[in-house]
Amino acid sequence: MTYDRLVCANCAAPVNEGRCRVCRAVRQQMERERDQGPFSGLNPAMLIALMVLLVAALALLA
Ligand SMILES: [Zn+2]
């Protein structure tokens, strides 16, 4: 996800300009999320549910 055109709700300037504290916080958060990879958006409960489904499917196949 890109934040090039994201406008800050606090200062109404583009977030990537980092004009206010909120902009910088949002920018930092997005950089963190990007660094963590595609699975960072999934919550742990979702991951566990997926794991259980996978194991069930393997058990059925075996
Ligand atoms: Zn701002």
Domains of the chain, by residue range, sit at 15-61
pLDDT at 12: 92
CA of residue 37 to ligand 1 center, whole Å: 26
10 contacts 20 by C-beta, under 8 angstroms: yes
pLDDT along the chain (62 residues), means of 10: 78 92 90 74 81 94 85
pLDDT at 38: 65
Instruction: Output the pTM of the full model.
Output: 0.50
pLDDT at 1: 52
CA of residue 40 to ligand 1 center, whole Å: 25
CA of residue 60 to ligand 1 center, whole Å: 53
CA of residue 18 to ligand 1 center, whole Å: 6
Q: Which residue carries 């742990």 as its tokens?
A: 44
pLDDT at 35: 78
Which residues, in sequence order, are bridge partners of residue 7?
Answer: 14
CA of residue 7 to ligand 1 center, whole Å: 8
